[in-house]
Amino acid sequence: MTKPVVSLAQVTIRFAGDSGDGMQLTGDRFTMDTASLGNDLSTLPNFPAEIRAPAGTVLGVSSFQLHFADHHVQTPGDAPDVLVAMNPAALKANIKDVARGATIIVDKDEFTTRNLAKVGYETNPLDDGSLESYKVHAVGLTSLTVAALSELSLSRKDAERSKNMFALGLLTWMYHRPTESTEIFLKAKFANKPDILEANLLAYRTGWNYGETTEDFSVTYDIAKAQMPPGKYRNISGNSAMAYGLIAASQRSGLKLFLGSYPITPASDILHELSKHKKFGVISFQAEDEIAAIGSALGASYGGALGITTTSGPGVTLKSEMIGLGVMLELPLIIIDVQRGGPSTGLPTKTEQADLLQAMFGRNGESPVAVIAPSHASDCFAIALEAARIATTYRVPVFILSDGYIANGSEPWKIPDIDSLPDMRVEFAKTQEDFLPYLRDPKTLARPWAIPGTKGIEHRIGGLEKADKTGEISYEPANHDLMVRARAAKVAGIEVPDLVVEDPSGDATVLVLGWGSTFGPISAAIEGLRNDGERVAQAHLRYLNPFPKNLGEVLNKYPKVIVPEMNLGQLAMLLRAQFLKDVISFNQVRGLPFTTAELMETTMGVLHA
């Protein structure tokens, strides 16, 4: 390194290009290299639903944003400090998010008259002055890559495809990231394609050298390690953490993991991940549809397995009737809804939290289930264990409401010590005389988990109303009333930890209460407000049904409670209904997480109303 080094506290970089440009891979690699340097980080992949939307169009732009710092990071960052735009469409789609003064690196080879016209640029923004207030580096990413690979016997098209590695090499140089792990990664990925491997490695190294030698880039940047609790770390996405959590639950409970699933964005990666781990005894069953997926999970659960189904909103809709059966049969069942924009097919690749009321009420009859939600990507590990605890202890369907942001976003995760995980062993009903399949445990109100193969307790269950204790069919009015209330009481009585309120000054009058993936953005906003001297309290709900026992008390303590949600006020509706508290809803459904800035602004408005 020969160029001056500037130290920064944090940087947000966005890689943007055509769906076919490999931006997700580029972002992933930069993330891994950044994580291993010890920076804290948070990521936001954002891609179109189409696998290959028309090339060069704004619709087809795929991006990956990464925020990394020498301190604790809560969000993927509001506005990028650096935008890498692989073509005019990527510039057009992203420029509105880039603050003036920020750095923009573009592939100038792609700024042809034709490509510019395709996205409606009448003049070339690289020389019409419209980017004057940015630091623009117009680099011939394509031509430099092709020139570097000219010795290889590759078609021009194949050579061009390595330009993302050129860009990655350049950024790696700029931010002093290590190169070894990406080289190892490429060698593994293209082990069977030596030509492509050589091209990628060469492009990557050429990009790095380009930074070092060209005058266009005069400084490099260094971001010191973040202070993190000591331990061993890895970077993990929400979906991977969820899959690991489910495997951990299976190992700690001794129950066979049975996943019944039907592919759907953004949940499929949990199915993919679990399918890789059959040596843990995992059975992953790709069913013919969502109904069969959950049906098979319930059947497995009936047989004594940990029955799980993974899906997104449209799939939940199809599963409703089977969830109702799970409520009636009082068997453990885990339903993971990785929420996306709705209704209907909606926005398959964008995030939203609008399935809360569906999870709560989307079934016929009085049909209570437990509902919990992870707060951030690595929290999915813990939430999966928690879902298994509730499902097996109370013999009840449990919803996990993750979402696209949590599922695809990633962050460093301190790898837990296996021995610190809870012991989750369960007891099945044993051989006995006069077995009563619906005799409730006085403490949990759960009925016995009575699995086939156990001598002497043969019995029949089903979706028709059950008689108390015997479980026989009953149409008795008083019995139905009793059983409806018993099922409700069981769910209401699930033990969950109290809500923790963070109120450092101790005298805040405004509480910001969130749930699910808004945790990061809200935390960042609160931190910003407190740094500005504001007094504001924060609490975050992981348990949505039942709510923590102290929630009413918390709501009463704060005159004003702001509830930010990526829906039109679903948690707010539940809070109003249950606690008669007129909370202040703050909502947006743009398919993206809240920005720190908008949350700060809204909270400021309430603080100083």
Partner 1 sequence: MPDVALTKKDFTSDQEVRWCPGCGDYSILSTMQAFLPELGIPRENIVFISGIGCSSRFPYYLETFGMHSIHGRAPTIASGLAISRPDLTVFVITGDGDALSIGGNHLIHTLRRNVELKILLFNNRIYGLTKGQYSPTSEQGKITKSSPLGSLDTPFNPISLALGAEATFVARSVDSDRKHLTEILRAAAAHKGSALIEIFQNCPIFNEGAFDIVKDNDTKGASLLHLNHGQPIKSETHGLIRENGALKVVALSGVNETDLVIHNAHDDDPAYAFALSRLSGSALDYVPVGIFRDVERAGYGSLVNDQVNEIIAKQGAGDLSQLLNSGDTWIVE
Q: Which stretch binds partner 1 (CB under 8 A): 6-14, 119-127, 272-280, 400-408?
A: 272-280
Stretch that binds partner 1, among 6-14, 284-292, 547-555, 595-603 (CB under 8 A): 284-292
Q: How far is CA 86 from the centre of its chain?
A: 26
Nearer to partner 1, 251 or 393 (CB): 251
C-beta closer to partner 1: residue 52 or 189: 189
Terminal-residue alpha carbon distance, the chain? 53
The CA distance from 223 to 8, in Å, is 5
Angle at 319 between CA 395 and CA 570, to 5 degrees: 85
Verify binding: residue 529, partner 1, rule CB under 8 A: no
Query: Rounded to an integer, what distance in angstroms lies between the CA atom of residue 333 and that of residue 172?
Result: 45
The CB density around residue 357, as the number of other CB atoms within 10 Å, is 14
* Distance of alpha carbon 13 from alpha carbon 89, whole angstroms: 18
Q: What is the closest distance, in whole angstroms, from the C-beta atom of residue 251 to partner 1 in the complex?
A: 5
Binding mask 28-67 for partner 1 (x = CB under 8 A): ----x--xx-x-----------------------------
Q: Which residue bears the tokens 């690196």?
A: 105
Measured from the CB of residue 6, what is the shortest distance to partner 1 in angstroms?
A: 24
- Judged by beta carbon, residue 472 or residue 598, the one nearer partner 1 is 472
Q: Kindly write out the interface string for residues 111-140 of this chain, putting x where it contacts partner 1 by CB under 8 A and - elsewhere.
A: ------------------------------
**By the rule CB under 8 A, 384 interacts with partner 1:** no
Should residue 85 be labelled a site residue for partner 1 when binding is judged by CB under 8 A? Answer: no
- The smaller minimum CB distance to partner 1, of residues 30 and 547, is found at 30
What string of DSSP letters covers 497-544?
A: PPPPEE-TTS--SEEEEEEGGGHHHHHHHHHHHHHTT---EEEEESEE
Nearer to partner 1 by C-beta: 234 or 581? 234
Total binding residues toward partner 1, as defined by CB under 8 A = 72
Contacts of 209 (CB under 8 A, 6+ apart): 169, 173
Q: Enter the tokens of residue 387.
A: 């879902």
Site for partner 1 in 446-465 (CB under 8 A): 452-464
Q: Which is nearer to partner 1, 255 or 562 (CB)?
A: 255
- Asked whether 177 and 185 are in contact (CB, 8 A), the reply is no
Secondary structure letter of residue 469 according to DSSP: B
**Which candidate, 4, 6, 2, places its Cα nearest to that of 221?**
6
Is 435 a binder of partner 1 (CB under 8 A)? no
Size of the chain, expressed as the number of residues it contains: 609
Distance CA 402, CA 161 (A): 34
- The minimum distance between CB 258 and partner 1, in angstroms, equals 5
Q: Is 535 a binder of partner 1 (CB under 8 A)?
A: no
**Per residue in 26-63, is it b (16+ CB within 10 Å) or e — as a string?**
bbbbbbbbbbbbbbbbbbbbbbbeeeebeebbbebbbb
User: Binding to partner 1 by residue 569, rule CB under 8 A?
Assistant: no
Residue 500 within binding range of partner 1, rule CB under 8 A? no
Q: Kindly state whether residue 416 participates in binding partner 1, applying the rule CB under 8 A.
A: yes
Determine the 3-state secondary structure of 404 from DSSP. helix
Nearest CB to partner 1, comparing residues 81 and 273: 273
Backbone angles phi, psi at 603, to 5 degrees: -65, -40
DSSP-derived pairing of the beta strands 103-107 and 82-85: parallel
Q: What is the smallest separation between the CB atom of 472 and partner 1, expressed in angstroms?
A: 7
Shortest approach of partner 1 to residue 226 CB, angstroms?
9
Q: Is 283 in the site for partner 1 (CB under 8 A)?
A: yes
Minimum CB distance to partner 1 smaller for 381 or for 558: 381
Residue 373 to residue 361: CA distance in whole angstroms:
16
Of residues 208 through 267, those in contact with partner 1 by CB under 8 A are 225, 228-235, 244, 247-248, 251, 256, 258, 260
CB of 241 to partner 1, least distance (A): 10
User: Closest CB to partner 1 among 291 and 563?
Assistant: 291
Based on CB atoms, which residue is closest to partner 1, 281 or 591?
Answer: 281
Give the nearer residue to partner 1 in terms of CB position, either 228 or 426.
228
Compose the 300-319 pattern: x for residues touching partner 1 by CB under 8 A, - for all others: xxxxxx-x------------
Task: Please give the residues from 323 up to 382 whose contact with partner 1 meets the rule CB under 8 A.
Answer: 324-325, 329
Dist CA 337 CA 360 (whole Å) = 12
Dihedrals φ, ψ of 200, to 5°? -65, -45
* Interacting residues with partner 1 between 172 and 191 (CB under 8 A): 181
Nearer to partner 1, 3 or 459 (CB): 459
Give the residue with the Cβ less far from partner 1, 25 or 606: 25
Distance, C-alpha 316 to centroid of its chain: 17
Q: Which residues, in sequence order, are bridge partners of residue 339?
A: 403
Provide, rounded to whole angstroms, the least separation between the CB of residue 248 and partner 1.
6
- In the three-class reduction of DSSP (H, G, I as helix; E, B as strand; rest coil), residue 44 is classed as strand
Nearest approach, Cβ of residue 514 and partner 1 (Å): 28
Q: Is 201 in the site for partner 1 (CB under 8 A)?
A: no
